[in-house]
């Protein structure tokens, strides 16, 4: 027998009373049942309040009968009894408005009784190949949540194949006390197989109804599928134009076995702005800001203007500038295809080159499946470049193509899953400077273990190649360098490139290929604070084949993370791990979000 005693001394004044203490003693209930009872009891929760009125204690005690019994049923105890006495009187006999003026003691007495196991069980009818939970079987503990899970599994199996109104129609649950067994028989009513009916859109004010319908891609006429509902809601949320998106089915079936739906939305405030800061002891300070309109022309179009200044106070060339605009139009060719137009004006003042450029690009992004997107576009790049070779100007026609596979559990602070990005940019010179292409791939993977997954191993691999041109004729910013944040922390920014012979001399350029690897061990110290150890490797090659001919370097270090609502604040301290300066200097990196 389990006896659960809670004694609370309450001081009576002319108003609410403060509880002096509440103690709880449980015999052989086990930690699981103890926690369930503590979580279920409203009376126990009153100890967290500084002042409690007597009528509130009576109300909580009266509600606790059902709540504690529900906790017992959930654990498989169907013969338990609950007694709650206030000043020696059963709480159930005290009217809510007839609370005593003074409460000296509250005693909760719980007899859990024997635990029941499942006897004869069944949920029917079920669609073919439906498997109920293994715990819903004769001889297993008869937990109420297992019954609910099994019934839900059956209902959802029918809904998954179009029977949207499937429901439990009847149930017989018998507790056989001598055998300590619970017999459960639940009958399901699948109803009709339905198709999606008409969609009614409510709540929009500034975004056109026709645009919302186009973006949603509601599958009217198709067989009902709950996953399609999730997809429609996700498409609309992805635009960023709505604070709330809720798709609800009608209570009544429509003509010809159709199911009407209502889409209720709440629009977001159309304008948004933000800024960012990132600091490196070598690369200097980066300051960025943006302004965005989420509904530029009434069709949930995103128009964005952003600016960035980097290299402030740095030791890696001069100050870099960029200003860019973009316009994203959702659902231009079906709900899965978006259009993006960009224009960028920039100056890159790097150690080995100075580049002024203006670029425009138009592209289409296609959602192939929920986690896989592809994009293809066409662009024009005009640039003026100053290097050790002199000054040149060129105009390139580009045709970027990319794929992105996103399977991380959290984009800003992943602990499991993986991410793969592949970009290819063929370019055609319009003034005879040389034709070729640039290929780059980035893959990241994460695995966690330990208590509450507090230990995370994160790995990243990068590989790139420039083909069709040599290092002297390729656009300078298409070549590869290594060193600094994003490649090898601890090594100076872009410190690893190539020494290329030209007219009897040697000049510094980027490489025609790159291979990089980053490995991090992340440990959660508290809920919001974590520490990181890392090792980075970078290789820059003189040919288009990665790792064939070139030079490598490495860096290592430690870091601290502080979790915030917008991602972890990152502080990394790195040092070279090879070369003449190995462990002889440090670089500091500060930013928002994990390094990768």
Does residue 29 have a pLDDT over 60?
Answer: no
Which among 340, 346, 362, 349 has a CA at the least distance from the CA of 312? 349
Pair of tokens at residue 453: 């997954």
Domain pair 21-111 / 390-592, same fold = no
Which among 53, 66, 77, 68 has a CA at the least distance from the CA of 6? 68
Does residue 389 have a pLDDT over 50?
Answer: yes
Per-residue confidence (pLDDT) for residue 35, from 0 to 100: 82
Does residue 30 have a pLDDT over 80?
Answer: no
The answer to whether the beta carbons of residues 402 and 372 sit under 8 Å apart is no
pLDDT-based confidence at 388, cuts 50/70/90? confident
**Across the strands, what pairs with 426?**
437
Pair of tokens at residue 376: 């293809």
Hey, CA dihedral for 307, 321, 477, 589, is it positive or negative? negative
Domain boundaries, the chain: 21-111, 117-189, 195-267, 390-592
The answer to whether the beta carbons of residues 217 and 232 sit under 8 Å apart is yes
Q: Tell me the average pLDDT of the chain.
A: 89
State the burial class of residue 452 (Cβ atoms within 10 Å of its Cβ: 0-12, 13-18, 19+).
Answer: exposed
Per-residue confidence (pLDDT) for residue 505, from 0 to 100: 65
Tell me the C-alpha distance between 497 and 512, whole Å. Answer: 9
Give 89's contacts (C-beta < 8 A, 6+ positions apart): none
Tell me the C-alpha distance between 184 and 180, whole Å. Answer: 13
Does residue 4 have a pLDDT over 50?
Answer: no
**Which CATH architecture best describes the domain 117-189?**
Roll (3.10)
- Tens digit of each residue's pLDDT (9 = 90 or more) over 184-195: 999 999 999 999
The answer to whether the beta carbons of residues 460 and 596 sit under 8 Å apart is yes
Does residue 416 have a pLDDT over 70?
Answer: yes
SS3 assignment for 329-359: ECCCCCCCEEEEEEEEEEEEECCCCEEEEEE
Per-residue confidence (pLDDT) for residue 592, from 0 to 100: 84
- Tens digit of each residue's pLDDT (9 = 90 or more) over 322-365: 999 999 999 999 999 999 999 999 999 988 889 999 999 999 99
pLDDT-based confidence at 12, cuts 50/70/90? very low
Tell me the C-alpha distance between 286 and 276, whole Å. Answer: 8
Tell me the C-alpha distance between 405 and 350, whole Å. Answer: 32
Tell me the C-alpha distance between 384 and 394, whole Å. Answer: 7
Pair of tokens at residue 146: 């297992």
pLDDT-based confidence at 130, cuts 50/70/90? very high
DSSP secondary structure letters along 452-510: GG-EEEEEEEEEEEEESS-TTTS-GGGSB-B-BTTTBTTSPTT-B-EEEEETTEEEEE-
Per-residue confidence (pLDDT) for residue 251, from 0 to 100: 94
Per-residue confidence (pLDDT) for residue 267, from 0 to 100: 95
Cα within 13 Å of Cα(522), Cβ side? 32
At which residue do the structure tokens 């090792």 appear? 535
Per-residue confidence (pLDDT) for residue 506, from 0 to 100: 73
Which among 491, 487, 536, 475 has a CA at the least distance from the CA of 514? 487
Give 457's contacts (C-beta < 8 A, 6+ positions apart): 446, 447, 448, 519, 520, 521, 522
State the burial class of residue 1 (Cβ atoms within 10 Å of its Cβ: 0-12, 13-18, 19+).
Answer: exposed
- Tens digit of each residue's pLDDT (9 = 90 or more) over 90-116: 989 988 788 888 887 888 888 888 889
Which runs of E-coded beta strand occur in 313-435?
A: 320-329, 337-349, 354-369, 372-387, 390-398, 401-406, 417-429
pLDDT-based confidence at 317, cuts 50/70/90? confident
- Tens digit of each residue's pLDDT (9 = 90 or more) over 562-581: 998 778 999 999 999 998 88
Helix (H, G, I), strand (E, B) or coil at 158: helix
For domain 21-111, give the CATH number.
3.10.20.310
Which among 287, 384, 353 has a CA at the least distance from the CA of 592? 287
At which residue do the structure tokens 């060719």 appear? 333
Does residue 176 have a pLDDT over 70?
Answer: yes
- Tens digit of each residue's pLDDT (9 = 90 or more) over 199-251: 999 999 999 999 999 999 999 999 999 999 999 999 999 999 999 999 999 99
Per-residue confidence (pLDDT) for residue 315, from 0 to 100: 76
pLDDT-based confidence at 17, cuts 50/70/90? very low
Superfamily, domain 195-267: membrane protein fhac (3.10.20.310)
For domain 390-592, give the CATH number.
2.40.160.50
Residues in the chain: 596
Per-residue confidence (pLDDT) for residue 502, from 0 to 100: 66
Does residue 14 have a pLDDT over 80?
Answer: no
Looking at per-residue pLDDT, the higher value among 260 and 311 belongs to: 260
pLDDT-based confidence at 24, cuts 50/70/90? very low
- The alpha carbon of residue 490 and the mean position of all alpha carbons in its chain are separated, in whole angstroms, by 30
Does residue 13 have a pLDDT over 50?
Answer: no
Across 119-134, average pLDDT? 95
Across 297-320, average pLDDT? 90
Per-residue confidence (pLDDT) for residue 19, from 0 to 100: 42
Q: What are the contacts of 449-457 at 24+ separation with CB within 8 A?
A: 452/524, 453/415, 453/416, 454/523, 454/524, 455/521, 455/522, 455/523, 455/524, 456/415, 456/520, 456/521, 456/522, 456/523, 457/519, 457/520, 457/521, 457/522
The answer to whether the beta carbons of residues 342 and 325 sit under 8 Å apart is yes
Pair of tokens at residue 464: 């790139």
Per-residue confidence (pLDDT) for residue 503, from 0 to 100: 65
DSSP secondary structure letters along 172-185: EEEEETTTTEEEEE
Per-residue confidence (pLDDT) for residue 463, from 0 to 100: 98
The answer to whether the beta carbons of residues 535 and 553 sit under 8 Å apart is no
- Tens digit of each residue's pLDDT (9 = 90 or more) over 500-549: 766 666 788 899 999 999 999 999 999 899 999 999 999 999 999 999 99
Give the strands of the sheet with 167-176, arranged side by side.
117-124, 181-189, 167-176
Per-residue confidence (pLDDT) for residue 57, from 0 to 100: 86
- Tens digit of each residue's pLDDT (9 = 90 or more) over 250-289: 999 999 999 999 999 999 999 999 988 888 777 788 999 9
Percent of the chain with pLDDT over 70: 93
Determine phi and psi for 366, rounding to 5 degrees: -115, 130
The answer to whether the beta carbons of residues 534 and 523 sit under 8 Å apart is no
């Amino acid at each position: 027998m389990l006896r659960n005693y809670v004694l609370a001394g309450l001081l009576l004044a002319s108003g609410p009373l403060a509880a002096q203490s509440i103690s709880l003693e449980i015999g052989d209930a086990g930690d699981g049942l103890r926690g369930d009872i503590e979580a279920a009891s409203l009376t126990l929760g009153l100890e967290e309040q500084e002042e409690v009125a007597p009528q509130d204690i009576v109300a909580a005690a009266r509600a606790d009968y059902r709540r504690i019994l529900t906790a017992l049923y959930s654990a498989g105890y169907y013969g338990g009894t609950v007694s709650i006495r206030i000043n020696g009187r059963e709480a159930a006999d005290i009217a809510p408005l007839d609370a005593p003026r003074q409460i000296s003691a509250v005693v909760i007495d719980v007899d859990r009784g024997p635990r029941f196991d499942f006897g004869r069980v069944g949920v029917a009818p079920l669609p073919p190949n439906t498997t109920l939970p293994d715990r819903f079987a004769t001889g297993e503990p008869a937990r109420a949540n297992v019954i609910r899970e099994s019934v839900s599994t059956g209902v959802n199996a029918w809904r998954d194949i179009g029977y949207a109104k499937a429901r439990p129609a009847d149930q017989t649950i018998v507790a056989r006390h001598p055998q300590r067994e619970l017999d459960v028989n639940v009958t399901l009513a699948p109803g009709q197989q339905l198709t999606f009916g008409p969609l009614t859109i409510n709540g929009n004010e500034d975004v056109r109804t026709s645009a919302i319908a186009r973006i949603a891609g509601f599958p009217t006429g198709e067989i009902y599928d709950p996953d399609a509902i999730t997809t429609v809601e996700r498409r609309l949320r992805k635009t960023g134009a709505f604070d709330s998106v809720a798709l609800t089915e009608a209570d009544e079936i429509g003509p010809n076995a159709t199911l009407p739906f209502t889409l209720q939305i709440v629009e977001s405030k159309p304008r948004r702005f933000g800024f960012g800061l990132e600091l490196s002891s070598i690369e200097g300070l980066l300051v960025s800001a943006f302004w965005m309109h989420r509904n530029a022309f009434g069709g949930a179009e995103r128009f964005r203007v952003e600016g960035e200044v980097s290299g402030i106070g740095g030791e890696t060339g001069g100050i870099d500038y960029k200003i860019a605009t973009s316009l994203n139009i959702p659902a231009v060719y079906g709900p899965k295809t978006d259009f993006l137009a960009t224009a960028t004006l920039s100056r890159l003042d790097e150690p080995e080159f100075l580049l002024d450029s203006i670029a425009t690009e138009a592209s289409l992004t296609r959602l192939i499946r929920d986690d896989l997107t592809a994009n293809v576009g066409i662009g024009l790049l005009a640039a003026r470049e100053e290097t050790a070779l002199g000054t040149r100007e060129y105009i390139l026609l580009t045709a970027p193509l990319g794929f992105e596979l996103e399977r991380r559990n959290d984009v800003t602070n992943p602990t499991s899953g993986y991410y793969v990005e592949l970009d290819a940019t063929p370019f055609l010179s319009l003034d005879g400077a040389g034709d070729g292409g640039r290929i780059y791939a980035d893959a990241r993977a994460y695995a966690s273990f330990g208590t509450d997954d507090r230990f995370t191993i994160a790995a990243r691999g990068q590989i790139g190649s420039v083909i069709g041109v040599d290092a002297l004729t390729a656009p300078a910013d298409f070549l590869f360098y290594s060193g600094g944040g994003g490649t090898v922390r601890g090594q100076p920014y872009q410190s690893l490139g190539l020494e290329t012979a030209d007219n009897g001399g040697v000049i510094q350029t980027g490489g025609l290929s790159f291979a990089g690897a980053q490995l991090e061990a992340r440990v959660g110290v508290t809920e919001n604070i974590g520490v990181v150890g890392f090792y980075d490797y970078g290789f820059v090659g003189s040919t288009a084949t990665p790792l064939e001919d070139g030079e490598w370097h490495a860096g290592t270090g430690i870091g601290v993370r502080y979790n915030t609502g917008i991602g972890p604040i990152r502080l990394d301290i790195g040092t070279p791990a090879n070369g003449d300066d190995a462990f002889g200097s440090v670089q500091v990196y500060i930013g928002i979000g994990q390094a990768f």
